[in-house]
């Protein structure tokens, strides 16, 4: 499994290199990578359906007990199959859709595919987070692919900020989960975690925020419609089967540990219910095909979260069926939308019509996908819709009527949206489009037709094709064994009646869209008070205002202000932490052992230091600084450090000479600061010096437990063949450090020499 994840990362840099030499066939070569991975995961279906869980582990940070752990069970397998199977078709579709920077596009897409595989296969909490953030970064690159457009850059930035910020919440939640479970292994933690743990609520809230942000749940949903600025292959992949499903996967994975509680039901079901109704309601008000699909994606993700919030066996079963249902029809419809835009030059439904004669294959793919989206038999979507209603009707200890009504409203809106994207562009009066419409290349209509064929095949043969793998999936999410059965026909029952009413209601709303849309827009308060407005005006604009205020107050373009900020921050932070926890009388002891000459040296250093600010000559200041350095060198010598003393003597001598050379060319010395400024500087200097003194006292009072000195003494001659321990440390044990320091000094010397060669006349300071 490690290599299945690494394969995408390894081949990603190869795609741009191949593009100049294989322009016409690259779109057929690169899809072989996800196809090979799809074949590998297909080969694992039989072991998984037999009840086996495949695990792999490699050492990563063994000192902390952190490994590269991977786990393949029913849940991770179905997501891996979607990522690679749908990925193969999207990669193929991209070859026909894009003719601009195709190699770079495949680079980003392979990185994203590998990151997403890492998320669903990782069995270590920190590893999950690493891949989680890699999906955010790679999706940022994909959404901003048209980086010459403002809306693409803004959409990518918004997606990165929202998913990145929620990812930090996820990191905190996973960290608390690891602490509470006393392990970083995700599988072990899920099996051993106790709902009654005192950290349960913080863990639930933080992990839920991470999932809500990634899966575009209310109130984080606004980033997903903006992301439609990305190319159609990106929308087909990220927003149907992969990235936006990562949050759903996380909730499903955590369900055995965090689910089955009142808090879980309330939080997850409520947010999912709000999202699915809101997304569906906003979808039919759009005229851009991709925005219609974007809002229905939000609604579908809400349905998945809603079902996981209910958490019963039938609800989990419905969610895991709908994961596949949605991936198949939504990816196909995004491809159809991209094809329409590619061949006509517009995605606006008000300017489209009568395309079925000119684009028959695309129209056929749209029809099959839309029928599955609307939940009509014999498509797989019909089974999914029936299970959603069954899950709400059989919910225990929850308001059945409210859940069923919410699911009905969301499904009704989805039926309407299905008609908008499958009927409006292809039938009715033919309309003039910016480009002369014609059928797209085979690489653009074959993938959505294949997805449609899978929707039809799974609907007709769900018992044979999907039921075997569904049982280990449900067991992985539900936490217990649960017998599953799938089928198209269960007789005339409540679920079937709700399906009929849903289809009729959705069809009726579709026919009334033109009359209802103006009223809906007039009543829309989301454009003024919604989460998107709060994000832009309250969050982004607020931070920019705060940054501007800080710049005006703190960024004075004078070095002394920056130094003051640093000194005050460090001093306050350290003293506020140390003073309450220490006793000064315990730090100061053994004063009787201080020798007279040591007191004289200290007094001399203090006198020179105090005298420096009062000097009127730069030469006097340099002389006093040099005297302080030389006295310290003598102290090193008295404390048996001759090497250090010789180094200090050399450095001080060189520093004094360099300072003299520099001040020789400086303007005449003047005092520009006021008494108030000098007083503030003096107070800050004393406080900072006191803080450093306190730190030194604490350090020297700590017991010396380092084993490094013993190691270097024992190994200097034995390993490095040197008697001088200090020299051996500098040259051998820390040779690279020393080489780096020498390099820095050499660069600095070159810079100084270049400045001296400029021979610039001194500049008089401003009054």
Beta bridge partners of 122: 70
Nearest partner of 323 among 161, 81, 508, judged by Cα:
81
Count of helices and strands (H, E) across the chain:
37, 2
Return d(Cα 453, Cα 450) in angstroms, integer.
5
Cβ atoms of residues 164 and 222 within 8 Å = no
* Closest residue by Cα to residue 608 from 624, 632, 631, 630: 624
Look up residue 438 and give its two tokens: 């014609």
HEC readout, 509-574: HHHCHHHHHHHHHHCCCHHHHCHHHHHHHHHHHHHHHHHHHHHHHHCCCCHHHHHHHHHHHHHHHH
Q: Determine contact, residues 245/311, Cβ cutoff 8 Å.
A: no
Element (H, E) at 59: strand 54-61
* Residue 702, φ and ψ in degrees, nearest 5: -80, 140
Residue 55: strand pairing partners: 71
Cα–Cα distance for residue pair 79/252, rounded to 1 Å: 11
C-alpha span between 42 and 469 (Å, rounded): 11
Tokens of 644: 């250090």
Find out whether the peptide bond into 378 is cis, omega within 30 degrees of 0: yes
Q: 563: Cβ–Cβ under 8 A, 6 or more apart, which residues?
A: none
Q: What are the φ and ψ backbone dihedral angles of 194, each rounded to 5 degrees?
A: -105, 125
Instruction: Supply the pLDDT for residue 759.
Output: 67
Residue with tokens 């769900």: 462
Compute φ and ψ for 535, nearest 5 degrees. Answer: -60, -50
Q: Where are the alpha helices (DSSP H) in 580-734?
A: 584-587, 596-611, 618-638, 642-663, 675-701, 708-720, 725-728
Determine which helix (DSSP H) or strand (DSSP E) holds 209, and give its type and residue range.
helix 200-214
Per-residue model confidence (pLDDT) at position 383: 92
SS3 content of the chain, % helix, strand, coil (to 5): 75, 5, 25
Average pLDDT per run of 10 along the chain, which is 767 residues long? 90 90 86 94 92 89 82 93 94 89 92 94 93 94 90 90 92 94 90 89 95 91 88 90 90 92 93 93 89 92 94 91 93 93 89 89 93 91 92 85 92 92 89 86 92 91 85 88 80 87 92 82 61 75 84 73 88 87 69 76 88 82 88 86 83 84 75 80 89 84 75 83 82 84 88 77 48
Q: How far is CA 388 from the centre of its chain?
A: 31
Coil, strand or helix at 263: helix
Question: What class, spelled out in words, does domain 555-706 have in CATH?
Answer: mainly alpha
Query: By the 8 A CB rule, do 44 and 157 touch?
Result: no
pLDDT of 766 reads 42
Q: What is the C-alpha to C-alpha distance for residues 210 and 397, in angstroms, rounded to an integer? A: 27
* Cα(398)–Cα(310) distance, integer angstroms: 8
Instruction: For residue 106, give the H/E element and its range.
Output: helix 102-121
Closest CA to 69 of 184, 220, 217: 184
Pairwise CA distance, residues 249 & 170, whole Å? 13
Q: In whole angstroms, what is the distance from residue 403 CA to residue 303 CA?
A: 11
Per domain, the residue ranges of the chain are 262-517, 525-554, 555-706, 707-767
Question: How far apart (Å, rounded) are the C-alpha atoms in residues 488 and 259?
Answer: 30
5's CB contacts (< 8 A; 6+ apart) are 70, 114, 117, 118, 121, 131
Bridge-partner residues for 70, per DSSP?
56, 122
Enter the DSSP assignment of 704.
Answer: -
pTM of the model: 0.80
Residue 43's CB: how many other CB atoms inside 10 A?
9
Greatest extent of the chain over all pairs of C-alpha atoms, in Å: 105
The reply to whether omega before 219 is within 30° of 0 (cis) is yes
User: What is the chain's length?
Assistant: 767
Nearest to residue 128, comparing CAs of 247, 244, 241? 247
Distance CA(620)–CA(544), nearest Å, equals 47
Q: What pLDDT was estimated at residue 767?
A: 40
Helix (H), strand (E) at residue 319 = helix 313-344
CA-CA distance, 240 to 229, in Å (whole number)?
15
**CB atoms closer than 10 angstroms to residue 484:** 20
User: What pLDDT is stored for residue 366 in this prediction?
Assistant: 93
- Which helix (H) or strand (E) segment is 110 a member of? helix 102-121
Structure-block tokens of residue 378? 């014999």
For residue 93, what are the CA distances in angstroms to 56, 96, 106, 227, 721? Answer: 33, 6, 12, 19, 65
What's the confidence (pLDDT) of residue 658? 82
DSSP letters for 469-517: HHHHHHHHHHSS-------S---S-HHHHHHHHHHHHHHHHHHTHHHHH
């Amino acid at each position: 499994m490690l290599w299945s994840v690494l394969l995408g990362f390894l081949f990603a840099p190869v795609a741009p290199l191949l593009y100049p030499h294989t322009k016409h066939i690259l779109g057929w070569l690169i899809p072989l990578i996800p196809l090979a991975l799809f074949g590998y995961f297909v080969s694992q279906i039989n072991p998984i359906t037999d009840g086996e869980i495949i695990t792999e582990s490699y050492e990563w940070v063994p000192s902390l007990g952190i490994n590269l752990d991977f786990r393949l069970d029913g849940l991770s397998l179905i997501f891996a199959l979607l990522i690679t199977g749908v990925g193969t078709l999207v990669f193929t579709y991209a070859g026909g859709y894009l003719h601009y920077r195709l190699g770079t596009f495949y680079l980003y897409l392979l990185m994203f595919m590998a990151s997403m595989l890492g998320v669903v296969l990782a069995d270590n909490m920190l590893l999950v987070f690493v891949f989680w953030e890699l999906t955010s970064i790679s999706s940022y690159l994909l959404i901003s692919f048209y980086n010459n457009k403002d809306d693409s850059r803004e959409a990518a930035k918004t997606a990165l900020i929202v998913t990145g910020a929620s990812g930090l919440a996820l990191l905190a939640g996973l960290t608390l989960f690891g602490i509470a479970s006393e392990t970083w292994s995700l599988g072990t933690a899920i099996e051993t975690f106790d709902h009654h743990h005192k950290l349960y609520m913080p863990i639930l809230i933080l992990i839920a925020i991470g999932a809500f942000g990634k899966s575009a749940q209310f109130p984080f949903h606004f980033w997903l419609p903006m992301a439609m600025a990305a190319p159609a292959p990106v929308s087909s992949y990220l927003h149907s089967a992969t990235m936006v499903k990562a949050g759903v996967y996380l909730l499903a994975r955590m369900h055995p540990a965090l689910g089955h509680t009142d808090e879980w039901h309330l939080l997850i079901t409520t947010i999912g219910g709000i999202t699915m109704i809101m997304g569906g309601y906003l979808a039919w008000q759009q005229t851009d095909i991709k925005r219609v699909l974007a809002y229905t994606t939000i609604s579908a993700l809400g349905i998945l979260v809603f079902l996981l919030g209910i958490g019963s066996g039938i609800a989990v079963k419905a969610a895991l069926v709908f994961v596949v249902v949605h991936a198949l029809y939504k990816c196909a419809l995004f491809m159809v939308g991209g094809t329409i835009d590619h061949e006509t030059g517009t995605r606006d439904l008000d300017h489209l019509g009568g395309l079925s004669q000119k684009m028959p294959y695309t129209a056929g793919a749209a029809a099959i996908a839309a029928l599955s989206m609307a939940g009509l038999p014999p498509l797989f979507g019909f089974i999914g819709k029936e299970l959603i209603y069954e899950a709400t009707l059989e919910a225990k200890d929850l308001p059945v009527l409210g859940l069923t009504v919410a699911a009905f409203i969301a499904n009704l809106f989805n039926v309407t949206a299905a008609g908008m994207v499958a009927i409006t562009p292809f039938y009715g009066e033919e309309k003039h489009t910016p480009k002369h419409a014609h059928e797209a290349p085979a690489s653009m209509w074959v993938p959505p037709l294949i997805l449609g064929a899978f929707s039809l095949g799974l609907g007709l043969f769900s018992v044979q094709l999907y039921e075997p793998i569904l049982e280990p999936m449900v067991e992985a999410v539900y936490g217990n064994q649960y017998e599953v059965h799938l089928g198209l026909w269960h007789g005339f029952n409540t679920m079937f009646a709700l399906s009929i009413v849903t289809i009729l209601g959705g069809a009726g709303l579709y026919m009334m869209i033109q009359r209802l849309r103006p009223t809906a827009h007039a009543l829309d308060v989301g454009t003024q008070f919604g989460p998107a407005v709060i994000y832009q005006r309250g969050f982004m604009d607020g931070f920019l205002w705060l940054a501007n205020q800080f710049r005006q107050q703190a960024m004075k373009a004078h070095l002394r202000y920056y130094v003051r900020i640093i000194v005050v921050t460090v001093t306050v932070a350290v003293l506020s932490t140390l003073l309450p926890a220490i006793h000064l009388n315990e730090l100061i002891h053994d004063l009787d052992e201080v020798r007279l000459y040591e007191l004289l040296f200290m007094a001399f250093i203090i006198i020179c230091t105090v005298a420096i600010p009062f000097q009127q000559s730069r030469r006097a200041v340099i002389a006093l600084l040099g005297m302080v350095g030389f006295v310290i060198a003598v102290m090193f010598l008295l404390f048996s450090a001759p090497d250090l003393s010789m180094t200090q003597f050399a450095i001080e001598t060189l520093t004094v000479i360099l300072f003299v050379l520099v001040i020789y060319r400086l303007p005449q010395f003047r005092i520009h600061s006021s008494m108030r400024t000098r007083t503030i500087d003096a107070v800050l200097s004393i406080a900072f010096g006191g803080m450093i003194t306190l730190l030194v006292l604490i350090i020297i009072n700590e017991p010396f437990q380092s084993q490094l000195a013993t190691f270097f003494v024992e190994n200097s001659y034995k390993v490095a063949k040197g008697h001088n321990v200090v020299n051996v440390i500098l040259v051998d044990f820390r040779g690279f450090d020393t080489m780096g320091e020498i390099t820095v000094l050499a660069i600095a010397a070159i810079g100084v020499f270049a400045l001296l060669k400029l021979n610039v006349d001194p500049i008089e300071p401003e009054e």
